[in-house]
Amino acid sequence: MTADASPTASEAGILVVDDAPANLELLSDMLRSRGYEPRPALSGAAALAAAQADPPDLVLLDVDMPGMNGYEVCRRLKADERLRAVPVIFVSAVFTQAEDKVKALSLGAVDYVTKPFQAEEVYARVATHLRLRGLQLEVEAHSRDLEDLVEQKVEEIASAQMATIFALAKLAEYRDDDTGRHLERVAAYCRLLAGEMRLTPRFAGVFTERFVEDLARAAPLHDIGKVGIPDAILLKPGKLTVEEFEVMKRHTTLGAETLRSVHAQYPGNVFLKLGIEIAQSHHEKWDGSGYPESLAGEAIPVAARVVAVADVYDAVRSRRSYKPAMPHAAARDIILGSRGAHFDPAVVDAFAALADEFEAIRTVLEGE
C-alpha cells in the first residue's frame, strides 16, 4: 500500500493468523472472494516473521494458539516501530467476557470478531479499518508535506536574513580598505577548527553539528562594529596613537550592542547570540591581556576563542597599507607561539592539526 492513499481491495495485504488450517482456509477464501490478498500464517512466530519481512495493511489474528498466543503476537507487533500502526483485528471464540475484550483493545487491537463469525461482519470490519488506516496515512503524508513546506520556507527566510547580515558585515569590511575575501576565509577557518574540536571528548557536547554551522555563519560578524569607527582612525595608514586605539577598540562593543538590539526581538536565535559573543570578545586573550573586558581563560566565550585564531591567522597572511603579507609558515609559527598566552591552547592544538588545510583554504579564497 502506498503511504498516501487507502489501498484498493486488490492492493490490500491482509495477514491472516490461525493455528487451525480449516479456519485459516475459510477466512482466506472469504477475503479472496472480495478481492483482498490474504497472507495465511499457521502460528504466531510465522506471523511475526511474515510481518517483519513485508508489513501488511491489516492483521486478522486468532487468540488461542499454542506456543505464542495472539495476545503475545499483538504485543510484539505493537513493540515494533515499523509495525505498530498496522491495525489488528482479533478473531476468536474466547471473547465471551468483557475482560477478554478489554485486554485485546488494551494491547493495541482496533477491533475484534467473535467466532463463529458472520462473513458480512468480517467484510464490514476489514473494510472499515482498512479505510481508517488509509485516512491515517493520508493525514500523516499531508502533515509531512506541511512540515517540509514550513522547513523550506524557514530555510528561505533564514538564507535571506543571512545574506542581508553578511552584506552588512561585508560593508564594514570594505570600509577597512579590504576588498578581498577575509570574511569568507574566517568563516571557513572557523568551520574547520570547530569541526576538529568537536572530535575531542572535552568539546563534543558543546560543538554539535548545529553549533559548528551557527559558529561558521556568525564568524563574519566579528568586525561589524567597525561601521561606527571614524574614517580618520579606521583608515589611518600608520600606527594608531594610544587615544586612537582606544576608539578603535570600541568596535567590539559597538558590534555587540548592535546585535543585542536585534537579539532582543528574537531571544531564541542562537546564531545572533553567537554573533554577540564573537563581536564582543574576539579580541580577548587567554592570559587576560585583551579587550574590551580583559577576560581570561574559559571566561571568554568559546566561539570568540575560535574566531580569534582564525582572524589573526588571516590578518597576518593579508597585505595591508602598513605591512606586507606574511607566508603561511610565519603565520603558523605566530599562532603556535601564542598558545596559552593570546590563544586558547585547545584551539591552537586544533589549528596545529589543520595548518595545511588553512593554507589550502587561503589559496582557494585568496581574493587579494
Q: Retrieve residue 272's grid coordinates.
A: 545572533
- Integer Cα distance of 274 and 301 in angstroms: 9
* Residue pointed to by grid coordinates 493455528: 19
pLDDT in tens, 212-266: 999 998 998 999 898 888 988 988 888 899 999 999 999 999 999 988 988 888 7
CA distance 51 to 120: 26
What are the grid coordinates assigned to 162, written together? 543571512
Q: Are residues 83 and 203 in the same domain?
A: no
Domain containing 286 equals 176-364
Helix axes 182-197, 119-175, angle to 10 degrees: 130
| Average pLDDT in the chain | 87
Last residue of a domain, one of 121, 144, 167: 144
Q: Are residues 213 and 105 in the same domain?
A: no
pLDDT above 70 covers a percentage of the chain that reads 88
Domain match, 259 and 306 both: yes
Residues 129 and 37 occupy one common structural domain: yes
Check whether residue 44 and residue 136 sit in a common domain.
yes
Which amino acid does the sequence have at 48? L
Q: What is the pTM of this model?
A: 0.59
Q: Which residue has the higher pLDDT, 190 or 271?
A: 190
**What is the tally of structural domains in the chain?**
2
Q: Is residue 153 part of a domain?
A: no
Q: Give the separation between CA 242 and CA 227, rounded to whole angstroms.
A: 20
Residue 100 has pLDDT above 90, yes or no: no
Residue whose C-alpha cell is 577597512: 176
Percentage of residues in the chain having pLDDT higher than 90: 53
Residue 225 lies in a domain: yes
151 in any annotated domain: no
